[in-house]
Amino acid sequence: MLNQIVDLLQMVGWQTAVLFLVVFFIGLYWIQQPVNLPPGPTGWPVVGCALKVKSGETHIAFTNWSKQYGVVFSVRLGPQLFVVLNDLRSIKKALHEQADDFSDRLVVDFAKLLGVEGSVVFENGTVWKERRRFGLGALRSFGMGKKSIEHSINEESRYLLDGFADKQGKPFDATHLINNAVSNIICKICFGYRFDYSDPKFAELIAILGEQLSDSSSLFANFKSAASEARTKRNAEFIIDFVRKIVQDHHQSYDENDIRDIIDMGIAEVKQSKSKEKHGGRNKKEFFNDGALIRSVIFLFIAGTDTTTQTLLWTLMYMALHPDVQKKVQSEIDEAIGGSRQPLMTDSPNMPYTNAVIMEMQRMRPVAPLAIPRKTRDDTTLDGYTIPSNTCVFVNIWAVHHDPATWTEPEKYNPARFLSADGKSVIQHGSLITFGTGRRACMGENLAKSELFIFFVNILQRFTVTFPEGKATPSQDGSAGAILGPRPYELCGTIRRT
């Protein structure tokens, strides 16, 4: 057989044979394309259009393609087919009106390594419903909307401000401090305690989470190098181990009459689930066990830390870029709160300008520009196009936030777009969808809003931030892995009050 192939190749010539094979595979690729897909850019077999997308700028490539091919378009990046929704109308149609078809999650590689069983972010169907119910209940009990969490954020702010003060006005990168502070809020809610910023294990956890979330292959799994895959695996093992130990400690000191945090709540749920399991009646996957509890906590960490951290880093960068805006925020703080006490969420309604500044930042630089990937449950249609089951669907938040049909001069930084004409109240805008929309919208939105407001106000109450003198202004483009954060930059924090 091999001899016959070699004879044949010698007869037609190697070049003709290679050409034939290339044409054959391109033909096969085209024949295998599903019919009536949304239009989109033409790609090559195997790589699709991946080579046309600059690393970290997928949201921008998608936004440009939507101008050419329409607000609902399809594209292959690697062998995987993606459908991208780029305006509020198509997003609402899919995520609200056809929620059964578009509410499942695609499981990205990092999540596979951590294990998705029990995770609210990546489970689907009835298990997801159960996990979301538990997660929302847990966040409400220990976080969102509670006075106690405001106190925790203010307590953490004091450590953060000490960190700023230690720099004595010299240039520093605030990422580490802010990341620690934000992560400690989730630690407090989940573990019942915070970590010291110098704790080496905690520092490692933060560094690993940051590394993983800045890796764009966390979302686009097709072009992973062996080194990146090995690193991802190591990272996943470290994170699981870290949380497993804390869950084990909680088991030792568990007291059903003193539920201290989300892990205790989870342990109560595991015990309840075990007793239900004994009496039968439910699908095994729906039972909650320690593994599912560990993963629930890990995914709260992943969803709730870098998102908030990077939003704060963007906001501080724009304060240094726009000193006039910073001054106005500080005047509002001085008037509404003064300098002798820390902010509370009850101050928020009296501070429309500060809120508008946070909202404009979330519009201009949404930290999850492509949300978290979804997939179609079954074959479905949208706007007359056919979308096969298991197609990855991206919601392009970036495109919605930069749509000139919605926003006047969308590239311009202008907090006033969120203010009434007299500047006395905030205008809510339906096209601001930083936290996603529909059934799978962000679960931590209220907690994130409290953190953003309290941390930001604490910082500007005590410090004025500027860029180091004589250095180039940092890039405002950012760099997107799973999260769109600013590229590393330095600030100086000058004390306003002591």
How far is it, in rounded angstroms, from Cα 206 to Cα 291?
21
How far is it, in rounded angstroms, from Cα 222 to Cα 108?
10
Which of these segments, 34-42, 80-88, 281-289, 436-444, binds ligand HEM (CB under 6 A)? Answer: 436-444
Which ranges in 284-410 belong to alpha helices (H)?
290-304, 306-321, 323-336, 352-364, 397-401
From candidates 66, 175, 184, 308, binder to ligand HEM by CB under 6 A: 308
Two structure tokens written together for 483: 């999260």
Helix (H, G, I), strand (E, B) or coil at 84: strand
Binding to ligand HEM by residue 307, rule CB under 6 A?
Answer: yes
Which of these segments, 191-199, 259-267, 299-307, 336-344, binds ligand HEM (CB under 6 A)? Answer: 299-307
From candidates 444, 478, 481, 485, binder to ligand HEM by CB under 6 A: 444
**Under 8 Å CB-to-CB from 349, ≥6 apart: which residues?**
none
The residue among 281, 314, 494, 322 whose CA lies nearest residue 401 is 314
Residue 76 bridge partners (DSSP): 81
Residue 77 bridge partners (DSSP): 48, 80
Residues 454-483 that bind ligand HEM (CB under 6 A): none
How far is it, in rounded angstroms, from Cα 318 to Cα 303?
24
The residue among 449, 494, 452, 478 whose CA lies nearest residue 315 is 452
Nearer to ligand HEM, 259 or 447 (CB): 447
Binding to ligand HEM by residue 399, rule CB under 6 A?
Answer: no
Nearer to ligand HEM, 33 or 148 (CB): 148
Q: Please, what is the minimum distance in Å from the beta carbon of residue 435 to ligand HEM?
A: 5
Residues 354-393 that bind ligand HEM (CB under 6 A): 367-368, 371-372
Binding to ligand HEM by residue 447, rule CB under 6 A?
Answer: yes
Strands 463-466, 392-395: pairing is: unpaired
Binding to ligand HEM by residue 116, rule CB under 6 A?
Answer: no
Q: Please, what is the minimum distance in Å from the beta carbon of residue 128 to ligand HEM?
A: 6
Residue with the shortest CB distance to ligand HEM: 444
Binding to ligand HEM by residue 161, rule CB under 6 A?
Answer: no
Nearer to ligand HEM, 106 or 351 (CB): 106
From candidates 163, 352, 436, 486, binder to ligand HEM by CB under 6 A: 436
Binding to ligand HEM by residue 443, rule CB under 6 A?
Answer: yes
Nearer to ligand HEM, 48 or 366 (CB): 366
**Sequence-distant contacts of 128-132: CB under 8 A, at least 24 apart:** 130/286, 130/288, 131/292, 131/296, 132/443
Two structure tokens written together for 304: 């709730």
Q: Please, what is the minimum distance in Å from the beta carbon of residue 367 to ligand HEM?
A: 5
Binding to ligand HEM by residue 149, rule CB under 6 A?
Answer: no
Binding to ligand HEM by residue 262, rule CB under 6 A?
Answer: no
From candidates 441, 471, 488, 497, binder to ligand HEM by CB under 6 A: 441
Which of these segments, 56-64, 207-215, 238-246, 298-306, binds ligand HEM (CB under 6 A)? Answer: 298-306
Binding to ligand HEM by residue 304, rule CB under 6 A?
Answer: yes
Kindly state the helix (H) or strand (E) to which residue 461 belongs, with its residue range.
helix 445-462
Nearer to ligand HEM, 320 or 443 (CB): 443
Q: Side-chain half-sphere of 301: how many Cα atoms within 13 Å?
A: 31
Two structure tokens written together for 228: 């990146």
The residue among 357, 312, 329, 280 whose CA lies nearest residue 460 is 329
Contact (CB, 8 A) for 94 and 382? yes
Nearer to ligand HEM, 75 or 300 (CB): 300
Q: Please, what is the minimum distance in Å from the beta carbon of residue 311 to ligand HEM?
A: 4
How far is it, in rounded angstroms, from Cα 187 to Cα 297?
9
From candidates 442, 454, 460, 465, binder to ligand HEM by CB under 6 A: 442
Residue 84 bridge partners (DSSP): 73, 394
Strands 80-85, 392-395: pairing is: parallel
Q: Please, what is the minimum distance in Å from the beta carbon of residue 127 to ligand HEM?
A: 11
- What does the longest C-alpha to C-alpha distance in the chain come to? 90
Number of H helices, E strands in the chain: 18, 11
Residues 184-203 that bind ligand HEM (CB under 6 A): 186
Binding to ligand HEM by residue 300, rule CB under 6 A?
Answer: yes
Task: Give the binding site for ligand HEM (CB under 6 A).
Answer: 120-121, 132, 135, 186, 300, 303-304, 307-308, 311, 367-368, 371-372, 395, 434-438, 440-444, 447-448
